[in-house]
Copies of this chain bind each other. A is one copy, B any other.
Amino acid sequence: MNVMNDSPRRKELTRQAAQLFVQEGFDRTTVRMLAQEMGIKSGSLFHHFRDKQEILAAVIEEGTENALGIARAALDDCDSDPASRLHAMARAHLETLLTDRNAHVVALYEWRRLDAPARAHLSHLRDAYEALWEEVIDDALAAGLIRGDRFLVSRFVMGALNWTVRWYDPDGERTPDELAGELVAMLTHPAG
Protein backbone atom coordinates (compact mmCIF):
# COMPACT_ATOMS: atom_id res chain seq x y z
CA MET A 1 0.00 0.00 0.00
CA ASN A 2 1.90 2.95 -1.30
CA VAL A 3 -0.14 5.51 0.47
CA MET A 4 1.27 8.79 -0.69
CA ASN A 5 3.82 8.23 -3.40
CA ASP A 6 3.58 9.60 -6.88
CA SER A 7 5.06 6.84 -8.96
CA PRO A 8 4.65 7.12 -12.71
CA ARG A 9 2.36 4.08 -12.54
CA ARG A 10 0.06 5.87 -10.12
CA LYS A 11 0.04 8.96 -12.33
CA GLU A 12 -1.08 6.87 -15.26
CA LEU A 13 -3.77 5.11 -13.25
CA THR A 14 -5.00 8.47 -12.02
CA ARG A 15 -5.31 9.68 -15.60
CA GLN A 16 -7.39 6.67 -16.55
CA ALA A 17 -9.59 7.05 -13.48
CA ALA A 18 -10.34 10.63 -14.46
CA GLN A 19 -11.66 9.45 -17.79
CA LEU A 20 -14.10 7.06 -16.16
CA PHE A 21 -15.18 9.58 -13.53
CA VAL A 22 -16.14 11.98 -16.31
CA GLN A 23 -17.99 9.34 -18.31
CA GLU A 24 -19.92 7.77 -15.46
CA GLY A 25 -19.62 10.06 -12.48
CA PHE A 26 -17.69 9.15 -9.35
CA ASP A 27 -20.47 7.27 -7.58
CA ARG A 28 -21.37 5.14 -10.56
CA THR A 29 -17.77 4.20 -11.27
CA THR A 30 -17.04 0.95 -9.43
CA VAL A 31 -13.61 -0.23 -8.41
CA ARG A 32 -14.10 -3.13 -10.81
CA MET A 33 -14.69 -0.74 -13.71
CA LEU A 34 -11.61 1.22 -12.73
CA ALA A 35 -9.51 -1.93 -12.52
CA GLN A 36 -10.68 -3.17 -15.90
CA GLU A 37 -9.86 0.17 -17.51
CA MET A 38 -6.41 -0.07 -15.94
CA GLY A 39 -5.90 -3.66 -17.09
CA ILE A 40 -5.57 -5.09 -13.59
CA LYS A 41 -7.85 -6.85 -11.10
CA SER A 42 -9.90 -4.87 -8.62
CA GLY A 43 -7.90 -6.03 -5.63
CA SER A 44 -4.64 -4.78 -7.11
CA LEU A 45 -6.05 -1.30 -7.19
CA PHE A 46 -5.65 -1.00 -3.45
CA HIS A 47 -1.95 -1.45 -3.72
CA HIS A 48 -1.77 2.01 -5.31
CA PHE A 49 -4.59 3.80 -3.48
CA ARG A 50 -5.77 3.43 0.07
CA ASP A 51 -9.41 3.53 -0.98
CA LYS A 52 -11.71 4.81 -3.71
CA GLN A 53 -11.83 8.25 -2.16
CA GLU A 54 -8.09 8.60 -2.54
CA ILE A 55 -8.37 8.02 -6.27
CA LEU A 56 -10.80 10.91 -6.51
CA ALA A 57 -8.51 13.12 -4.45
CA ALA A 58 -5.57 12.25 -6.70
CA VAL A 59 -7.54 13.13 -9.82
CA ILE A 60 -8.74 16.43 -8.43
CA GLU A 61 -5.30 17.35 -7.14
CA GLU A 62 -3.79 16.83 -10.56
CA GLY A 63 -6.57 18.70 -12.34
CA THR A 64 -6.32 21.73 -10.11
CA GLU A 65 -2.53 21.79 -10.15
CA ASN A 66 -2.61 21.65 -13.90
CA ALA A 67 -5.08 24.53 -14.18
CA LEU A 68 -3.06 26.57 -11.72
CA GLY A 69 0.17 25.95 -13.60
CA ILE A 70 -1.28 26.91 -16.96
CA ALA A 71 -2.86 30.05 -15.54
CA ARG A 72 0.38 31.16 -13.87
CA ALA A 73 2.37 30.57 -17.02
CA ALA A 74 -0.17 32.51 -19.05
CA LEU A 75 0.03 35.48 -16.72
CA ASP A 76 3.82 35.44 -16.84
CA ASP A 77 3.84 35.39 -20.63
CA CYS A 78 1.34 38.10 -21.40
CA ASP A 79 1.47 41.90 -21.43
CA SER A 80 0.86 43.59 -18.12
CA ASP A 81 -2.18 45.65 -19.06
CA PRO A 82 -5.49 44.56 -17.51
CA ALA A 83 -7.12 43.64 -20.82
CA SER A 84 -4.28 41.32 -21.81
CA ARG A 85 -4.24 39.71 -18.42
CA LEU A 86 -7.99 39.12 -18.46
CA HIS A 87 -7.75 37.59 -21.89
CA ALA A 88 -4.80 35.43 -20.87
CA MET A 89 -6.66 34.02 -17.87
CA ALA A 90 -9.74 33.18 -19.89
CA ARG A 91 -7.64 31.54 -22.59
CA ALA A 92 -5.68 29.57 -20.00
CA HIS A 93 -8.89 28.30 -18.47
CA LEU A 94 -10.09 27.02 -21.83
CA GLU A 95 -6.71 25.52 -22.62
CA THR A 96 -6.87 23.32 -19.55
CA LEU A 97 -9.91 21.75 -21.17
CA LEU A 98 -7.67 20.97 -24.09
CA THR A 99 -4.66 19.55 -22.27
CA ASP A 100 -6.29 17.82 -19.32
CA ARG A 101 -10.01 18.00 -19.77
CA ASN A 102 -10.99 14.98 -17.70
CA ALA A 103 -9.16 15.87 -14.52
CA HIS A 104 -10.38 19.45 -14.72
CA VAL A 105 -14.00 18.40 -15.21
CA VAL A 106 -13.80 16.04 -12.26
CA ALA A 107 -12.34 18.80 -10.11
CA LEU A 108 -15.32 20.97 -10.99
CA TYR A 109 -18.15 18.49 -10.73
CA GLU A 110 -17.14 15.86 -8.19
CA TRP A 111 -15.77 18.16 -5.51
CA ARG A 112 -18.69 17.42 -3.22
CA ARG A 113 -17.85 13.73 -3.20
CA LEU A 114 -14.56 14.36 -1.40
CA ASP A 115 -14.54 13.50 2.26
CA ALA A 116 -13.76 16.22 4.77
CA PRO A 117 -9.98 15.67 5.17
CA ALA A 118 -9.36 15.56 1.42
CA ARG A 119 -11.49 18.62 0.90
CA ALA A 120 -9.54 20.55 3.52
CA HIS A 121 -6.27 19.57 1.92
CA LEU A 122 -7.33 20.46 -1.61
CA SER A 123 -9.19 23.66 -0.92
CA HIS A 124 -5.88 25.51 -0.65
CA LEU A 125 -5.07 24.66 -4.25
CA ARG A 126 -8.49 25.77 -5.33
CA ASP A 127 -8.25 29.00 -3.40
CA ALA A 128 -4.94 29.74 -5.07
CA TYR A 129 -6.54 29.39 -8.47
CA GLU A 130 -9.50 31.58 -7.61
CA ALA A 131 -7.19 34.16 -6.08
CA LEU A 132 -5.47 34.56 -9.45
CA TRP A 133 -8.82 35.33 -11.02
CA GLU A 134 -9.85 37.83 -8.38
CA GLU A 135 -6.58 39.68 -8.74
CA VAL A 136 -6.99 39.98 -12.49
CA ILE A 137 -10.59 41.08 -12.15
CA ASP A 138 -9.68 43.64 -9.52
CA ASP A 139 -7.19 45.18 -11.92
CA ALA A 140 -9.73 45.25 -14.72
CA LEU A 141 -12.25 46.94 -12.47
CA ALA A 142 -9.71 49.49 -11.26
CA ALA A 143 -8.81 50.30 -14.85
CA GLY A 144 -12.48 50.80 -15.71
CA LEU A 145 -12.29 48.01 -18.23
CA ILE A 146 -15.31 46.31 -16.76
CA ARG A 147 -17.79 47.54 -14.21
CA GLY A 148 -19.73 46.11 -11.32
CA ASP A 149 -19.25 44.65 -7.89
CA ARG A 150 -15.92 42.89 -7.34
CA PHE A 151 -17.44 39.81 -5.75
CA LEU A 152 -20.26 39.45 -8.23
CA VAL A 153 -18.24 40.02 -11.36
CA SER A 154 -15.75 37.32 -10.46
CA ARG A 155 -18.56 34.89 -9.67
CA PHE A 156 -20.30 35.62 -12.94
CA VAL A 157 -17.13 35.25 -14.97
CA MET A 158 -16.14 32.02 -13.25
CA GLY A 159 -19.64 30.72 -13.88
CA ALA A 160 -19.56 31.53 -17.57
CA LEU A 161 -16.19 29.84 -17.93
CA ASN A 162 -16.87 26.79 -15.79
CA TRP A 163 -20.04 26.21 -17.76
CA THR A 164 -18.01 25.87 -20.93
CA VAL A 165 -17.20 22.26 -20.04
CA ARG A 166 -20.81 21.46 -20.86
CA TRP A 167 -20.74 22.69 -24.42
CA TYR A 168 -17.25 23.62 -25.55
CA ASP A 169 -15.54 21.19 -27.88
CA PRO A 170 -11.78 21.88 -27.87
CA ASP A 171 -11.44 19.97 -31.13
CA GLY A 172 -14.09 22.13 -32.77
CA GLU A 173 -13.73 25.24 -34.86
CA ARG A 174 -13.17 27.84 -32.19
CA THR A 175 -9.78 28.01 -30.53
CA PRO A 176 -9.46 28.87 -26.84
CA ASP A 177 -7.90 32.14 -27.91
CA GLU A 178 -10.89 33.14 -30.02
CA LEU A 179 -13.35 32.15 -27.35
CA ALA A 180 -11.48 34.08 -24.70
CA GLY A 181 -11.58 37.07 -27.02
CA GLU A 182 -15.35 36.81 -27.34
CA LEU A 183 -15.80 36.64 -23.59
CA VAL A 184 -13.60 39.66 -22.97
CA ALA A 185 -15.37 41.58 -25.71
CA MET A 186 -18.71 40.85 -24.11
CA LEU A 187 -17.53 42.05 -20.74
CA THR A 188 -15.43 45.06 -21.52
CA HIS A 189 -16.58 48.51 -22.51
CA PRO A 190 -15.06 50.29 -25.46
CA ALA A 191 -14.62 53.64 -23.77
CA GLY A 192 -12.81 52.76 -20.55
A112 at the interface (CB under 8 A from B): yes
- Listed stretches A38-46, A53-61, A145-153; interface member: A145-153
A163–B161 alpha-carbon span in the complex (Å): 10
Complex: chain B residue closest to A164, CB-CB: B159
Q: Which residues 6-45 in A have Cβ within 8 Å of B in the complex?
A: 25, 27-28
- Candidates B153, B161, B163, B189; contact of A162 at CB < 8 Å: B163
Indicate if the CB atoms of B112 and A25 lie closer than 8 Å: yes
Write out the residue numbers on chain B whose beta carbons fall within 8 Å of the beta carbon of A191.
191
Shortest Cβ distance from A187 into B: residue: B186
Q: Could you say which of A147, A161, A162, A182 has the most chain B C-beta atoms within 10 Å of its C-beta?
A: A182
Contact of A155 among B155, B158, B164 (CB under 8 A): B164
Taking CB atoms, residues of chain B closer than 8 Å to A147 are: 185-186
Q: Which of A126-184 contact B (CB under 8 A)?
A: 146-149, 152-153, 155-164, 166-167, 179, 182-183
| A182: contacting residue among B109, B148, B186, B190, CB under 8 A | B148
Chain B's nearest CB lies how many Å from the CB of A21?
Answer: 12
Name the B residues within 8 Å of A185 (CB-CB): 147-148
Instruction: For the complex, give the distance between the alpha carbons of A190 and B190 in Å.
Output: 10
A50 interfacial by beta-carbon distance below 8 Å: no
Interface check A121, CB cutoff 8 A: no
